[in-house]
Amino acid sequence: MTGIEDAGPAVLQPCPSCGLGDQVSGVPAVYHAGRDSVRVTRPARHDEGEETVTRSVTTSLSGALAPAPTLLPFTAAGDVAGGVLLVLVAIGTFIGGAAGGHWFSEDSEPTRRTTTGGWYYTQQDAAPAHHSSLAFLGWISALALLSAITLLVRAGRRQAARKLLLAGRAEAERLWSQGWYCRRCGSVHFRARPGEKARALTLQEFRSQVWEAGGYGSLAERGTF
């Protein structure tokens, strides 16, 4: 992985929990040991032949020791495209209602009387029914506009979060590469600082510290992005 120091810490640090070092390994080594690529062959379907797909397999331990959130196969472009499409729908339905006289009609227009078989009725009598038939366009327009705003705001937040992740990842990996993992205790620890004792950290505590160093500590609970 680009930017990750595979070698890990140079001098082994015994686990502060059990006091032993025989089951202690550098976090980068444990992380990479839990990641692999496998080739899966899909059987032939209809007129298509067999298809071989390469997939990435990650253990739960490797995922817990990741130096940064997993980037999901999603881009802000999808939300932007959907938002623009919904804006066009909102505009189109609004124009449709306006063209039908639903939005800007005036009730004070002159009344014209028409005779049919001795009965009199006015065009204003028929207007409410015509307007009510177009009322659904207003709901469609409002719903489309609200959905468009939601998508565009989400796209903006995702893009900002991605920039934050890329900007701080190097600093997060610097701290991450100094960690040690004890298989016996299932904990992580750093080299003891002068005047302080080393402390065994849970996987969640380790992730929070590393991701906080990168500036994206708020994502530590989710683990994906």
Chain segment 41-93, per-residue pLDDT in tens:
666 666 666 667 677 778 999 999 999 887 655 566 777 888 888 888 888 88
Domain tally, the chain: 1
Please determine, for residue 5, whether its predicted confidence score (pLDDT) is greater than 60.
no
b or e along 100-137 (b: 16 or more beta carbons within 10 Å of the residue's beta carbon)?
eebbeeeeeeeeeeeeeeeeeeeeeeeeeeeeeebeeb
| pLDDT, position 121 | 47
167 found inside a domain: yes
7 found inside a domain: no
104 found inside a domain: yes
- Provide the 8-state DSSP code for 101: T
At position 115, the amino acid (one-letter code) is T
17 found inside a domain: no
3 found inside a domain: no
Are residues 137 and 96 in contact, defined by beta-carbon separation less than 8 angstroms?
yes
195 found inside a domain: yes
102 found inside a domain: yes
Note down the domain range covering 121.
24-219
2 found inside a domain: no
Distance CA(137)–CA(142), nearest Å, equals 9
pLDDT band, residue 2 (cuts 50/70/90): very low
List pLDDT tens digits, range 138-162.
788 888 888 889 888 888 877 777 7
Higher pLDDT, residue 97 or 122: 97
